[in-house]
Amino acid sequence: MSQSATPHLETVSHMIADIQSGNRRTLSKAISLVESSLEEDRVLTEALLEAIVPLTGKAKRIGITGSPGVGKSTFIETFGLACIEKGETIAVLAIDPSSQSHGGSILGDKVRMPALARSEQAYIRPSPSRSTLGGVSNATREAMLLCEAAGFTTILIETVGVGQSEVEVRSMTDLFLFLTLPVAGDEVQGIKRGIMELADIIFVNKSDGDLQDFAEMAKSQIQSALTLMHSPTEDWKVRTLTGSGLTGHGIQELLQLCSEFFVHPSPHDHAIQERRIRQNLEWFEMSCRRELIHWAETQDSFRNAKLKAEQDIINGNTVPSIAARSLINTHLHSD
Amino acid sequence: MSQSATPHLETVSHMIADIQSGNRRTLSKAISLVESSLEEDRVLTEALLEAIVPLTGKAKRIGITGSPGVGKSTFIETFGLACIEKGETIAVLAIDPSSQSHGGSILGDKVRMPALARSEQAYIRPSPSRSTLGGVSNATREAMLLCEAAGFTTILIETVGVGQSEVEVRSMTDLFLFLTLPVAGDEVQGIKRGIMELADIIFVNKSDGDLQDFAEMAKSQIQSALTLMHSPTEDWKVRTLTGSGLTGHGIQELLQLCSEFFVHPSPHDHAIQERRIRQNLEWFEMSCRRELIHWAETQDSFRNAKLKAEQDIINGNTVPSIAARSLINTHLHSD
């Protein structure tokens, strides 16, 4: 990719050296580049990303989801600090589909996780709140690679449970952690089965004070629901834990479970590697589709015929699905 | 569109005459054609659809959604029969995303709505349970046009509230009706706000027997939640009703509200027409994307380079988003 001749080769190698040496400012600047919607930034971004490929892939990639109100921020703060005590360094990224429309419901700043934000071993990056060239999830994937190049050993990607965002986070992480509230009875039915099926570990958060009994009931109900589901990860048995981000209860057990998940060699170790390859192929497929649409819009004959077809549709003279097929078969140059 | 020379022109005009004369068998056969995944069926389908364009667009298009357990079948049966008493003829179509994977949770047969199924004035078509060339929602849009050509005055399109299916049904109907259960309190929070925002009318179903008090509470809570939302239809105030598909309570009020919605001329009448144009443009856009992807896969140079790029991705030598951009810019023939 070189619209302009060899883009800023020196800039790129300087930035990489800075990122590797732990310079947060350069890391932030690089992530801003991947989030940019400007074509000229894209040239630099691609040079940068291609150069760091060998430095990537070494972190544990953990996705975290749960409805608003489940205590995600407090949980991530406690969990992140506990990981740091075990010697990890943590980058926290977010995918927040709502941030596109109304400025973000995941607060981007350090307010949500003050202690984690102060730690030298942690880096917290808010979800991009503007449109990016390849969409939010593409920017988050690329940001993850940059954080890996910066040497972070664990990447936490959080999302609010809205729309397709859990599916996107699942599609870029190794381990997917689902936080839920200590509610029992019929309400457990309310937990979206679709999300539970994505999770490797389910953590019943806010299991503290008066809610501990409910939490145990919720846990056993979830466990019985799980018996009807497949694990998303080969050779991994989905586990449910109760605990509390607020009191720290259950966090050590959760860490223990996470290290079981990531231990090498393990029966499901190859499953993680295979999943990453599958994830990269999906990422490629999505990117192809996006770029293909972008490319077609730049073809004059296609673009003009498309405008004409749209006019026919506005006038009610044609069936949209037929107009589309005719447009593509007539106005693109085939081999 | 003519891969083969003038496809079965006589067949097409015979089929149209049969469909217009009320022949259900031919209508069913035509809908099977739009659901087909065979290229040769597509040629006939397109000839048929293009020929019926002038016969379409006259029905009231009503979408109906609600979670499993809300009593959708019983409701549609009662509502459909009440519409028929007012002189309407009813076609019931379905979009059921789950039918793709495990054979359908909306029962396709007449078992669910026995009285409606027996009526001369109704036609019930199950959701396609196999993959179709343009996807389920494309097939349902095309089936709707066929039902309009057959003279049905109201098309009901139902969906289970799974994934994106409500959004799809909203995107092909004039009026969107959301069924919910008579639950009050915190559980109302559980009603997905995203779905409520799509609805023109909310019907608290199963408001019968002991549940009537709960239903009124649920109604007033929903109404207060609605004050914070925008109506999906210009110049239309979203309304909440309680009622019961089982006892018929509330169904006449609902019919009254529906005719208010569709009355001509009304302040929001142009809104319905504008929405249909917008919906057709969206349908066109979606179809363009689908056909574009299909077209690219048939280009030899592109397909071969894509296979090579996939190998690079499997070997971990490149960033998928960059590989995609390079592939498209290098291996398609530009103007």
Query: Tokens 């799809």 map to which residue?
Result: B168
Residue-averaged pLDDT of chain A: 87
Distances (CA, A) of B84 to B20, B42, B79, B94, B252: 19, 34, 9, 19, 12
Q: Per-residue pLDDT averaged across A34-41, rounded? A: 87
Question: Closest chain A residue to B315 measured between Cα atoms?
Answer: A277
Residue range B95-148, pLDDT digits in tens:
876 654 443 445 555 678 889 999 999 999 987 766 666 677 899 999 999 999
pLDDT of residue A16 exceeding 90, the answer is yes
Residues 163-192 of A with CB under 8 A from B: 163-164, 187, 190
Whole-angstrom distance, CA of residue A95 vs CA of residue A136 = 7
Give the torsion through C-alpha atoms of B7, B39, B279, B9, to 10 deg.
10
pLDDT of residue A158 exceeding 70, the answer is yes
Q: What is the share, in percent, of chain A residues with pLDDT greater than 70?
A: 86
**CB count in 10 Å sphere of residue B25:** 9
Q: What confidence score (pLDDT) does residue B104 get?
A: 40
- Residue from the list B50, B187, B328 with its beta carbon closest to the beta carbon of A319: B50
Interface confidence, given as ipTM, is 0.86
H or E element at residue A188: helix A186-190
Please tell me the distance in Å from B323's CA to the nearest CA on chain A: 7
Nearest to A142 by CA among A42, A8, A2, A274: A42
pLDDT band at A136; cut points 50, 70, 90:
confident
Q: Do A46 and B325 count as a contact with CB atoms less than 8 A apart?
A: yes
Q: Do B320 and A281 count as a contact with CB atoms less than 8 A apart?
A: yes
Please tell me the distance in Å from A56's CA to the nearest CA on chain B: 10
Whole-angstrom distance, CA of residue B173 vs CA of residue B185 = 31
A322 CB neighbours in chain B (<8 A) are 1, 46, 49-50
- Residue from the list B284, B320, B334 with its beta carbon closest to the beta carbon of A320: B284
Residues 146-165 of B with CB under 8 A from A: 162-164
Q: Which of A45, A192, A288 to mutate to test the interface with B (most CBs of B within 10 A)?
A: A288
* pTM for the model: 0.80
Please tell me the distance in Å from B250's CA to the nearest CA on chain A: 27
- Residue from the list B290, B306, B320 with its beta carbon closest to the beta carbon of A280: B320
Query: Tokens 């549709």 map to which residue?
Result: A313
Residue range B287-328, pLDDT digits in tens:
999 999 999 999 999 999 999 999 999 999 999 999 999 999
pLDDT of residue A178 exceeding 90, the answer is yes
User: Structural domains in chain A?
Assistant: 57-267 (3.40.50.300), 283-331 (no CATH)
Q: What confidence score (pLDDT) does residue A103 get?
A: 38
Q: What confidence score (pLDDT) does residue A56 get?
A: 95
Across the strands, what pairs with B239?
B201
pLDDT band at A1; cut points 50, 70, 90:
very low
Residues 234-293 of B with CB under 8 A from A: 277, 280-281, 283-284, 287-293
Q: What confidence score (pLDDT) does residue B100 get?
A: 47
Q: Do A333 and B335 count as a contact with CB atoms less than 8 A apart?
A: yes
- A–B CB contacts, 8 A cutoff, strictly below: 169
Please tell me the distance in Å from A82's CA to the nearest CA on chain B: 32
Cβ atoms of A75 and A82 within 8 Å: the answer is no
Q: Per-residue pLDDT averaged across A179-197, rounded? A: 72
**CB count in 10 Å sphere of residue B334:** 10
Whole-angstrom distance, CA of residue B142 vs CA of residue A147 = 47
Q: What is the share, in percent, of chain A residues with pLDDT greater than 90?
A: 61
Residue range A95-130, pLDDT digits in tens:
876 554 443 445 555 678 889 999 999 999 987 766
Nearest to B150 by CA among B56, B33, B77, B45: B56
Nearest to A204 by CA among A178, A242, A253: A242
Across the strands, what pairs with B159?
B65, B95
pLDDT of residue A282 exceeding 90, the answer is yes
Residues of chain B with pLDDT under 70: 1-7, 97-110, 129-134, 161-163, 184-192, 264-268
pLDDT: which is higher, B203 or A42: B203
Q: Which residues contact B251 (CB under 8 A, 6 or more apart)?
A: B78, B79, B82, B243, B245
Q: Do B320 and A291 count as a contact with CB atoms less than 8 A apart?
A: no
